Structure 1
């Protein structure tokens, strides 16, 4: 008998929980911080009841986003196994079976709706719209050129709208346009990164990328960069004069991200750029603090 054969290790409760949290993509929950945007721009973020409602909406949206991630990973399991990074996801790697993943997805969905129910009817509708929209994206729309990017952007806008509905905060045309501009900027950067990632092996890239080129995406990113700066500048000009002091932070943040996309080939994971790039992180923090100070005390 060969005593050197290694038996598969039995998973501990701790490793099972880690696998579930990894599959839920907790790190990507930073995208959902847009839920707090309305509370920040209204200057009411320091109000305890506003902060609590915004936080509950954030958690609700995050669990719904995790539900979509799980569904998407189930649908794309075979393709993910060929991807240099996505093959490590828990469903693709086999660490979590598909039946277990379905159970987790049902639980995260119910938690999301349950938390939204504690706020108001509008938040429930917002998270359900997000679910339906992204389910359509996972099953079909992610293969439709341009529409795929617009759906990603719409998801970011819906995050900001959900936050506004949760705290009865800012929901103006300029607020929505600025969010849309930022969302398209991030979505196009993500597509550019994916396109370059599979430049030497296009057979393993997502189908929709065959309709894009780096040149096209660069032109679209350049267009939306100008549009985003214009949108925010006009929004700031329509507010208190002191809001104009926030424009340099917006300019630097956009230019820094633009630099990372083109010089560092970043953009694939906006949430990681926020956490790992000190320039972006400090700019976002200073910008948020300045907005609260201007709205609350000026």
Structure 2
């Protein structure tokens, strides 16, 4: 009797664990990366046009769903390697909390809904989401094993998000320099991530991710330094580009915020020894978060309010 009566409770508990594990594997905290979709809307001066704001928001939602599908797929493919990682071994798939068959089914459903939503909003946005999906599948299967290219592919994902926002808004004043800034910033995120993994795993890094054997800290520190410098210079050029920046040269007032963001990250890595990925530190480090909010407010004020 006791074993029979406990069966429904056990089934309910298992279902709850699976759904909680699925939500964790979807990584909703990482959806912050897809906010870059709004870049075209903001920097083209169309933030307060309701129709375009709604369309951009729907494309943002599509990228969130599709990126979650990709995260599930990656975790499913990397289950064995993740079990050797001090932090990733607690992920739902690696720890056994999430049923792999449920995870694969959810990944397929999320991808289907995301692509359909994007095509409904704008055909070219749907095409870009398909490219994003194909790129990530290629990354999971092959490109993540090719040194330097692995990070460049991740950076391309950010650029595709921006382009999706561009085709929805049909931009008129969007500076080409912003494409450069986004790409460089994404490379910054990618190399920062690789550095974090090397520091965290030390001698066991290649056992978790084979490509890490092709990197070392001196190389990554040099690459990060180059990308940080290039990012700052590119943003400065954008802010001075009076032909496309709606705020004209007044955008130079936002350059100190960008410099502080880059310098603060390097300080946290090299002085505080946090070694965190930039996207995680942006949320966890209060000065970085406050600086980002102030930068966003300054951009909106300069483009929309200071005429």
TM-score w.r.t. length of structure 1: 0.92
Measured in 2, the distance between the counterparts of 1:209 and 1:111 equals 34
- 1:228, distance to aligned residue in structure 2 (A): 0.7
1:19 corresponds in structure 2 to 21
Match of 2:112 among 110, 113, 122: 110
1:285 corresponds in structure 2 to 293
Match of 1:146 among 145, 148, 153: 148
CA contact (8 A) 2:189 2:279 kept: no
**Superposed CA RMSD:** 2.0
Measured in 1, the distance between the counterparts of 2:106 and 2:24 equals 12
1:186 corresponds in structure 2 to 189
Is 1:245 the counterpart of 2:253 in the alignment?
yes
Q: List alignment gaps of at least 5 residues for structure 1.
A: none
1:276 corresponds in structure 2 to 284
Measured in 2, the distance between the counterparts of 1:77 and 1:15 equals 18
2:58 corresponds in structure 1 to 56
Measured in 1, the distance between the counterparts of 2:175 and 2:130 equals 22
Measured in 2, the distance between the counterparts of 1:94 and 1:205 equals 18
TM-score w.r.t. length of structure 2: 0.90
Q: List alignment gaps of at least 5 residues for structure 2.
A: 243-247
CA contact (8 A) 1:19 1:90 kept: yes
Question: After alignment, is 140-149 or 275-284 more displaced?
Answer: 275-284
- 1:18, distance to aligned residue in structure 2 (A): 2.2
Alignment of 1:153-168 (within 5 A): 153-168=155-170
Measured in 2, the distance between the counterparts of 1:62 and 1:267 equals 26
Alignment of 1:1-298 (within 5 A): 9-12=10-13, 14-169=16-171, 171-239=174-242, 240-266=248-274, 268-297=276-305, 298=307
Find the residue that maps to 1:199 and give its secondary structure: helix
